Amino acid sequence: MGIGMRLMAVSGQFYPGKEAPLKQKIEEAAAIARQDEIAVRPVRALILPHAGYDYSAVTAVKGILSVDKSRIKRVVVLSPSHRHGFYGAAAGRYDGYWTPFDAVQCDMNALDNLLDTPGSPVKNMPEAHQDEHAIEVQLPLLQYFLNEFTLIPLVIGQNNLEQIRRIANALAPFWGPETLWVISSDFTHFGRSFGYLPFTTDIRTGLRKLDMGAIDRILALDTKGFYDYIRETGATICGHAPIEILLALLDKHPGEVRAELIDYTNTGEMFRDFSHSVSYAAISFSEV
């Protein structure tokens, strides 16, 4: 028995809060995304951005369009925690998440198993979900493009590599062809407002090089390499912990998936202003 429905926190801000304009916004993004040829594959996981739809929806849609939706019955969404500091992973025992399109029902059996297993690194922390946008913004896009699915939503705190592997082990039973994993993450947040200015000249080139250094390690499925890269560069990739969990899980499935960069952009390029820029990428992990 859940604690009720998780209410929308950022509708009308990150995306339209009413069904009709939300559908129109998604269809506009899809029209742009479909200008690229995107092959449909047996995708098992995606890294998708979670910014406002005006900035990142096209990139996110390109990722989702690569999914063979015919077999997806459940979605695991792992998001960073933008407002609450904690270790481990946070579930909420919500019955579901409301969106302008209707409710997405949570897989309560899965959440109960995660929360009730002795020693589980997943804790019941509904407060970590209440105002967290990084799960919420994914759901209307997934509802629009996928068939009906149940949801396992988890907010991930800051963790060392040992704890990352513990969380990956706890989530391992949910790795399967009928479950799509969505890792909600933007990439580098650059600028004085983010407190991150690793370079001040040729920012466009430096920013792309910085992001691609992280993306190359993801594409190589290099858990330790990606983990170390974040610590060595200070790259402000907000969802690095969820990405690390996915990579740690894939360590247990060598040769099973191939990672592919589907799209990369940043707001510096969008608006020709690199004094303040956030990067976005869509990366798929499909069966070999």
Mean pLDDT, to the nearest integer, of 238-257? Answer: 97
pLDDT at residue 1 is higher than 90 = no
Domain that holds residue 281: 5-287
pLDDT at residue 3 is higher than 90 = no
| Antiparallel, parallel or unpaired: β 102-105 and 96-99 | antiparallel
In tens, the pLDDT along 41-95 reads: 999 999 999 999 999 999 999 999 999 999 999 999 999 999 999 999 999 999 9
The model's confidence at residue 246, banded by pLDDT at 50, 70 and 90, is: very high
DSSP state of 177: T
pLDDT at residue 34 is higher than 80 = yes
| Antiparallel, parallel or unpaired: β 179-184 and 74-80 | parallel
Number of domains in the chain: 1
Q: What distance lies between CA 193 and its chain's CA centroid?
A: 23
pTM of the predicted structure, to 2 decimals: 0.97
pLDDT at residue 182 is higher than 90 = yes
Q: What are the structure tokens assigned to 218, written together? A: 């993801």
Residue 28, strand partner residues: none
Q: Which of 70, 10, 57, 50 is nearest to 29 (CA)?
A: 57
Q: What percent of the chain has pLDDT over 70?
A: 100
Give CA–CA dist 50/183, Å, rounded: 10
List the beta strands (DSSP E) in the chain: 5-6, 43-48, 74-80, 89-91, 96-99, 102-105, 122-124, 150-156, 179-184, 189-191, 257-266, 276-287
Spatial contact of 22 and 54, defined as CB atoms under 8 Å apart:
no
CATH number at residue 256: 3.40.830.10
Is 20 in a helix, a strand, or coil?
Answer: helix
The residue whose two tokens read 């390109």 is 62
H or E element, residue 216: helix 203-219
Q: What percent of the chain has pLDDT over 90?
A: 99
In tens, the pLDDT along 125-134 reads: 999 999 999 9
CB neighbours (10 Å) of residue 281?
27
H or E element, residue 144: helix 138-145
Spatial contact of 153 and 180, defined as CB atoms under 8 Å apart:
no
In tens, the pLDDT along 117-163 reads: 999 999 999 999 999 999 999 999 999 999 999 999 999 999 999 99
First vs last Cα of the chain: how many Å apart?
Answer: 38
